[in-house]
Amino acid sequence: MLKKLFYFVIAVGLLLVIAAGLFLTWGYYYITRDLPRLSTIEDYKPPAVSTVFAGDGTPIGEFYKERRYPIKLKDVPPMVRNAFIASEDASFYQHPGIDFWSILRAAYVNIERGEAKQGGSTITQQVVKNLLLSSEKKIQRKIKEAILAYQLEKRLSKDEIFEIYLNQIFFGNTAYGLKAAARSYFRKEVHELTLPEAALLAGLPKAPTRFSPILHAERAKRRQRYVLTQMVKAGFISRGEAEEALRQELRVYAAGAQNIFHAPFYVSEVRRLFQELWKDLNVDVDGLEIHTALDIVADEMAVRALRKGLREVDKRRGWRGPLGFIAGGDRQKFVEQYGAWPREALEEGVIYPALVIEVAMARGEAVVSLGDYTSVVNLKEASWARKRLDADERVFFMSPEQTLKVGDVIEVSLGTRAADGTSAKNGAVESPNVQKILVLDQTPLIEGALVLLNPYSGEVLAAVGGYSYQRSQFNRVTQSLRQPGSAFKPVVYLAAVDGFKFTPATIVYDSPRTFRVGAQLWTPGNFDEKYLGPITLRVALEKSRNLVSADIVSRIGVDAVIQYARKLGIQSRLGPNLSIALGSSEVTLLELTRAYGVFAAKGVLFDSVFVTKIVDRQGSVIYDYETEKLSKARQVINENSAFIMANLMKGVVEHGTGYRVREIGRPVAGKTGTSNEEMDTWFIGFTPQWACGVWVGFDVKKKIGEKETGGRVAAPIFLYMMRDFLKYKDEQNYAKLVEEAKAEAERLGIEYVAPEPLEPLDFSVPDGVDPFWVDKESGRLVSEGIPGAILEYFIKGTEPSKPLEEEQTPESYLESPDL
């Protein structure tokens, strides 16, 4: 009987073991039937920040979905690693991915306390959970996590797993990964972290919001103490080091939402170009290094020049009056609505709102408050504000002290006054003989844009697409199509010179004309409503005569002009009509400036280049403009014709509508442009090395003002920009020359002698061009020294050879249009 019972027990036991085995086998396969593939972790490429760099390597912007900067474990100091090991998984380098003792300890604590207070997850399990599984608290998910963690440890090394962990975890404060956390919280790189900083960061992954040092400082301190205690227990640091770390006060920073640090219009254009040119790359997740041609100094100069010029134009239009009104001059309400600025925080070139708290009409002064600063504004010195604009832009005249009252909110900026009190102006340099004051000012409503490029490479050094990126992110350099007016005339003249053998001395006719355009008649006029009669091509361009341009197009044909515009890189739609002669077809500022650059670059056209190099997260170069620059260069017009045009356009600056630019004091060529009703104003100019374009107007087209032409509105902005930029480049080039001279002197063992100052470059004369003295009015050959004689350049064989009365006129070789 006992024997039978024994066999029965054995049989039942075996059946139970088999059943348990089958159950466990079924359970294992049931749990693992839909396990995620570990290849996702093996090919770990988390979303990472793409950083945009200026030409000198300065970061100017970031694109990202998650702010993460992947870092190699070898670049993480041992002390920082140990902080995370001690905090999250002290036996990480000993267990096989699952720490059974930690699980049992956590289970005991949780049962004892009646709630889930501790978890037993290892670093490997956390990696699996974050990358492959959800965060749901179910036993099935925990089992999957454990299985995957064990499998992962068989496929990756401990260091590889730890590196993934440090790059993947979320720290709060917009930071994903250790490197982002160091930058966000402490504005440091990982290798610069101190022990207390590392301990603070190591305590965050458990609950980034709960232990945030920004939101919950005391709680974060307790968590830091816990991490330091665990480091002592693990033998990573001594108790004394822990206590010293706890005594240190840490300064933490809240991460800003700003992801553009410099040149916002430029950075936004870079982003747009990726959507157009590199569609297979995702700048928000790919972790790219994006190198650009931006010159930060040049871009800052461009911002200052554009803002200065727009303010000048806006003030000529008139003062629009106060921004608003606060009853009783209540300063507290002003601060709540407009903010407050202490005196030491005021910056030159910035416009601030100010509350009028007293008006002294007899003295012509207003006492104003900026919340934390009170000062006096001399209204009599703001003579521009006597011209007033009402809401409908009707003009009337009245002194500001006669209309201001307590409670008005006006705009002011920082200016200076000479020690004798005789003058005040914005932007003065610090000097013992001047004192800082507040002056009445006004934020311009008019918009503008400026672009600077290197015509010999196409690289865009600066692109400022408006008065303020905060006010409008619309980029008027690349996105705005506007009528160029007379700024398009160089294209017309190029077609005549390069394709139809016109010369600077060719006689053209500035006379009233009516042209037949199909069944319509078109009678253009000149801006000044005057006509000069027969003049040379040079004078016609310098004086920007509309009738001459229209006449040329009527003779050479609209198609020829469009063909040359395409050669110069103008891609916008051009209307096939005679009015193209006066710039009626809309173009962008960038493409027109690039077209002018062809004249500077001896007839060679380059694509406009913002991005110069793209490097992926592994350091491989995806794109490098240097390798394709030469293949991109296209000789689109004859070098001789390019020089003739540059020389003609020098005359526009020296003797014509661009005369305000003469102040630069070096060879500059360019052309002004004004569209109908003074709605768009332009100045595009170039030196032998640089091309710069300026546009000014309103986004919703309307008249800028009477006689507000390209020469008066846009040319001064070009002047402000290029005067400063060329000086900056001269200083750079001379400093390089000095450095080379010193190195040469040291190498040869001779005394260093300072090099001579660099002379500004002029446009070089090609071999196919010869100079001749001609009479500027008649265009005929004369002797040097004759009154009215100028040195003119001609493509070989096209120089005048007969007296004026024997010269052929354009009518003799081009069919005259219908009148």
Can you list the domains of the chain with their CATH numbers? Answer: 67-247 (1.10.3810.10), 320-441 (2.40.50.140), 449-613+621-728 (3.40.710.10), 769-806 (no CATH)
Torsion of CA 394, 397, 399, 405, to 10 degrees: -40
Residue with tokens 């608003």, as numbered in its chain: 324
- Residue of 50, 62, 87, 88 marked active site: 88
Q: How many Å apart are CA 282 and CA 224, to the nearest integer?
A: 37
- Helix/strand/coil (H/E/C) assignment for every residue in 624-687: EHHHCHHHHCEECCCHHHHHHHHHHHHHHHHHCCCHHHHHHCCCCEEEEEECHHHCEEEEEEEC
More confident residue, 378 or 133: 378
Percent of the chain scoring above 70 in pLDDT: 87
CB half-sphere exposure, 250, CA atoms < 13 A: 26
| Predicted local confidence at residue 36, as pLDDT | 58
Q: Between 296-317 and 715-748, two packed helices, what is the crossing angle to 10 degrees?
A: 160
- Other beta carbons within 10 angstroms of residue 139's beta carbon come to 7
pLDDT in the model for residue 101? 62
Q: Kindly report the number of other CB atoms within 10 A of residue 275's CB atom.
A: 10
- How far apart are alpha carbons 433 and 775 in whole angstroms? 51
Amino acid letter, 767 = D
What does the pLDDT look like over 249-282, one tens digit per residue? 999 999 887 899 999 999 999 999 999 999 999 9
Q: What is the dihedral of CA 230, 232, 236, 239, to 10 degrees?
A: 150
How far apart, in Å, are the Cα atoms of 613 and each of 61, 158, 230, 244? 15, 35, 46, 47
102: its two tokens: 């930690």
**Cβ-contact 552, 496 below 8 angstroms:** yes
Q: Is the pLDDT of residue 426 over 50?
A: no
For tokens 């992947």, name the residue: 70
Altogether, the residues listed in the chain come to a count of: 819
Average pLDDT for the chain? 89
pTM for the model = 0.89
Q: Is the pLDDT of residue 9 over 70?
A: no
Q: How far apart are the C-alpha atoms of 84 and 74, rounded to whole Å?
A: 15
Residue 39 is predicted with a pLDDT of 61
**What is the average pLDDT across 348-362?**
93
88 in catalytic set: yes
Tell me whether residue 807 is one of the annotated catalytic residues: no
Q: Are 317 and 705 in contact (CB under 8 A)?
A: yes
Indicate which residue of 184, 486, 544, 554 is catalytic.
Answer: 486
Model pLDDT, residue 681: 98
pLDDT at residue number 375: 93
What pLDDT, on a 0 to 100 scale, did the predictor assign at position 141? 57
Closest to 682 measured CA to CA, from 669, 692, 670, 673 = 673
Which of the given ranges, 366-380, 425-439, 717-731, has the highest pLDDT on average? Answer: 717-731
As a whole number of angstroms, the distance between CA 106 and CA 94 comes to: 18
- 804: pLDDT confidence band, cut at 50, 70 and 90? very low
What percentage of the chain reaches a pLDDT higher than 90? 74
Q: Distance (Å, rounded) from C-alpha 113 to C-alpha 204? A: 24
pLDDT, position 134: 56
